[in-house]
C-alpha cells in the first residue's frame, strides 16, 4: 500500500513539474530572447516571496478539432491564483505565451473568471498580466464566448475592486477590451502592443503599412490614444509600478486607502513656492513642482503622464493619507481645458471617488480651448464629463487656486458651487469671467474706439480690470473661497484640512445610475 501511495505522489510531482515548465525549455528561451519574462517569473517578481498559491494548475482544454486532441498542455496557457503583494492580498492571472501562444479559449477563460469571482467576493485587487496571441482559432465561437464572460466580470467588478492590467506582450482583437474596462493599464516599451485589428488587416483595408509598434505600441497608447496609463521600460519595472500603485489604493470600495506613515513633518513649510508664480500672469510654470513640494517626501505617482499634458493627475500621500491630485498645467497650452484633458481628469476623478480616495485640485486655468476642431470634436460633451465627475464625487474635495480661474472652467474645477468642501486661494489668484484683454474689449468697446490713443486706453482699462479682479478677495467676500494663505503654508493647511474631512459623509440621490455624457 505504501509503495502505491509513494508512486502516486511521485506521479503528482512529475505532472506538476511538467505544468510549471509551460511550453517547455525551448519556448521559455525564446521568450527570454525577446526580452520578456515567463508567466511564472512575472508572478515570482510581483508576489511577496512564498505567498503565491496557484489555482487550476492541472486544468486543460477538452477540444478535439484541428489536432488539439494531440496537444493538451496543463494550465491551458494561463497561470492563476492568489498572493500577497507588499502585504496586500491580491488575485493574479498571468498569461503564458509559451503555451499555445497564450491563446484564450474555454478553459483559459474559465480560469480567469474563477479568480475574478473570488476577488469580488473577497474584496481584493485583481492583477492581470496579459501576453496572448488572442482567441484560440481552433475553438471558434467558444473562444469568443470566453472573452465575453471576462468582459462581463470586468464590468461588474468596476468600482468594486481595483483592476490593474499589465500588457507584457501582444494584446489584439477582442483581448483589448478587458484591459480597457479595467482601472489602470500598464504597457512595456518595445515588447507590448494593443490594437483591435492588426497591421495586416489595416494594410488590406486602408492600404497603410504599419508595424505593430507604430499601430499600437506603448508610446502610441500612452501619448496619442490615452489607453495606457503607465509605460515601463521592461517587465520588471512594470511589476514595480503595480506594487507602487497598490500603496495608494484600497483593496475594495468599502475600505479606506492605505495609510503610509513617514518621517516628513506635517508642518513642513513650502518656502520654494513663495515665488513660483511668475510676475507676468501669462508666463508658464510647472505645476508638478507644486504637487511634489507639498507631497510626503516629494513623492508623486503621475498617471497618464504622456497624455493630455495640459492637465496633471496622479497620487500623493499627505500626512500618510492617500490623495488623488488633479491639476491644470500652465506649462502646456497654458493649462487650458480641452477634449482630451477633460476625459483624462474625469476618469481619474471617478476612480478616486469609487475607491474613497480624497481629491486635491490645483487650479490655474484660463478656460476651455476655443476652435473649430474642439467644437466639432465635442468639447461641450467632453467638458461636461469633467463637470459631471466633480459634481458626482462625494469624497473629500479640496481646491487651491494658484493663479487663473476664468469662465466656466472656474466652475468646473471643483468650485464651491459643485460641492467643493474647502476652496482656498493663494494671493496670486485671479477669478473672473475672462482675462483682462477680452473683458475690456467687450465692456469698454465704445471708450476704446473713441479714444485718441486706443492702445494706451486699452492698457489703462486692462490695469483697472486687473486691479478689480486679479485677486481672490471678491470671491472670498462671498464665501466662495474659504481662506487665502501664503503658498508656503500649503502643505500644512492641506494635511489639516483633509484630516478634518476624514469622516465626511455626503450622498447622491437614490438612482440606478446617472447618465454621464459619454
CA angle, 394 then 399 then 402, to 5°: 165
Whether residue 173 lies in the annotated active site: yes
- Cβ–Cβ under 8 Å, residues 136 and 103: yes
Among 234, 112, 212, which Cα is nearest to 168's? 234
- Phi/psi of residue 92, each to 5°? -135, 140
What the block records as the C-alpha cell of 89 is 492580498
Judged by DSSP in three states, 139 sits in helix
Beta strands per DSSP E along 51-168: 53-55, 78-85, 88-95, 126-130, 163-167
Distance (Å, whole) CA 440 – CA 19: 75
Non-local CB neighbours of 89 within 8 Å, separated by 6+ positions: 82, 83, 122, 124, 251
DSSP summary character for residue 217:
B
Task: Give just the sign of the alpha carbon dihedral 421, 424, 429, 431.
Answer: positive
Q: Which of 109, 133, 169, 173 does the annotation list as catalytic?
A: 173
Q: Which of 47, 135, 232, 409 does the annotation list as catalytic?
A: 409
What the block records as the C-alpha cell of 37 is 519574462
- The enclosing H or E element of 23 equals none
Whether residue 75 lies in the annotated active site: no
- The enclosing H or E element of 307 equals none
Q: Within a 10 A sphere around the Cβ of 54, how many other Cβ atoms? A: 18
Distance (Å, whole) CA 422 – CA 414: 10
Q: Which of 140, 198, 226, 408 does the annotation list as catalytic?
A: 408
- The enclosing H or E element of 251 equals none
Whether residue 408 lies in the annotated active site: yes
- Find how far residue 176's CA is from the centre of its chain: 16
- Cβ–Cβ under 8 Å, residues 429 and 471: yes
DSSP summary character for residue 225:
I
What the block records as the C-alpha cell of 186 is 500598464
- The enclosing H or E element of 430 equals strand 430-432
Whether residue 407 lies in the annotated active site: no
Residues serving a catalytic function are 173-174, 408-409
Amino acid at each position: 500500500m505504501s509503495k502505491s501511495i509513494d508512486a502516486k505522489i511521485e506521479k503528482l510531482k512529475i505532472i506538476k513539474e511538467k505544468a510549471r515548465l509551460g511550453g517547455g525549455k525551448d519556448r521559455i528561451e525564446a521568450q527570454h530572447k525577446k526580452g520578456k519574462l515567463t508567466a511564472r517569473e512575472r508572478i515570482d517578481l510581483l508576489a511577496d516571496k512564498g505567498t503565491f498559491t496557484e489555482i487550476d494548475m492541472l486544468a486543460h482544454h477538452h477540444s478535439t478539432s484541428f489536432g488539439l486532441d494531440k496537444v493538451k498542455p496543463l494550465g491551458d496557457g494561463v497561470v492563476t491564483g492568489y498572493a500577497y503583494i507588499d502585504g496586500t492580498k491580491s488575485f493574479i492571472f498571468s498569461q503564458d505565451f509559451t503555451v499555445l501562444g497564450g491563446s484564450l479559449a474555454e478553459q483559459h477563460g474559465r480560469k480567469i473568471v474563477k479568480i475574478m469571482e473570488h476577488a469580488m467576493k473577497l474584496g481584493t485587487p485583481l492583477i492581470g498580466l496579459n501576453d496572448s496571441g488572442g482567441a484560440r482559432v481552433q475553438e471558434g465561437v467558444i473562444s469568443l464566448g470566453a472573452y465575453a464572460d471576462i468582459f462581463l466580470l470586468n464590468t461588474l467588478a468596476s468600482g468594486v475592486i481595483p483592476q490593474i492590467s499589465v500588457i507584457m506582450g501582444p494584446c489584439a482583437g477582442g483581448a483589448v477590451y478587458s484591459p480597457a474596462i479595467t482601472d489602470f493599464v500598464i504597457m512595456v516599451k518595445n515588447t507590448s502592443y494593443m490594437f483591435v485589428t492588426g497591421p495586416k488587416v489595416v494594410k488590406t483595408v486602408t492600404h497603410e503599412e504599419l508595424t505593430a509598434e507604430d499601430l499600437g505600441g506603448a508610446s502610441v497608447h500612452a501619448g496619442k490614444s490615452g489607453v495606457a496609463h503607465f509605460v515601463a521600460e521592461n517587465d520588471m519595472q512594470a511589476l514595480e509600478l503595480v506594487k507602487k500603485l497598490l500603496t495608494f489604493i484600497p483593496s475594495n470600495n468599502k475600505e479606506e486607502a492605505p495609510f503610509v506613515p513617514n518621517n516628513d513633518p506635517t508642518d513642513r513649510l513650502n518656502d520654494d513656492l513663495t515665488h513660483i508664480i511668475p510676475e507676468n500672469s501669462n508666463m508658464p510654470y510647472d505645476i508638478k513642482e507644486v504637487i511634489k513640494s507639498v507631497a510626503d517626501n516629494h513623492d508623486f505617482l503621475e498617471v497618464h503622464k504622456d497624455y493630455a499634458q495640459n492637465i496633471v493627475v496622479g497620487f500623493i500621500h499627505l500626512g500618510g493619507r492617500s490623495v488623488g491630485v488633479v491639476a491644470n498645467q500652465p506649462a502646456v497650452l497654458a493649462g487650458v481645458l480641452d477634449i482630451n484633458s477633460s476625459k483624462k481628469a474625469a476618469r481619474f476623478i471617478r476612480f478616486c471617488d469609487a475607491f474613497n480616495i480624497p481629491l486635491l485640485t490645483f487650479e490655474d486655468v484660463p478656460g476651455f480651448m476655443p476652435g473649430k476642431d474642439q467644437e466639432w470634436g465635442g468639447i461641450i460633451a467632453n467638458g461636461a464629463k469633467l463637470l459631471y465627475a466633480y459634481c458626482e464625487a462625494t469624497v473629500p474635495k479640496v481646491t487651491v487656486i494658484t493663479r487663473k480661474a476664468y469662465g466656466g472652467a472656474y466652475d468646473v474645477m471643483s468650485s464651491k458651487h459643485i460641492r467643493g468642501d474647502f476652496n482656498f486661494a493663494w494671493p496670486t489668484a485671479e477669478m473672473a469671467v475672462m482675462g483682462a484683454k477680452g473683458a475690456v474689449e467687450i465692456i469698454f468697446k465704445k471708450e476704446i474706439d473713441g479714444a485718441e490713443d486706443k492702445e494706451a486706453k486699452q492698457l489703462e482699462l486692462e490695469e483697472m480690470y486687473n486691479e478689480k479682479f486679479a485677486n481672490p478677495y471678491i470671491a472670498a467676500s462671498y464665501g466662495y473661497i474659504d481662506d487665502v494663505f501664503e503658498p508656503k503654508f500649503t502643505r500644512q493647511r492641506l494635511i489639516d484640512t483633509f484630516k478634518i474631512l476624514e469622516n465626511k459623509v455626503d450622498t447622491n440621490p437614490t438612482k440606478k445610475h446617472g447618465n454621464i455624457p459619454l
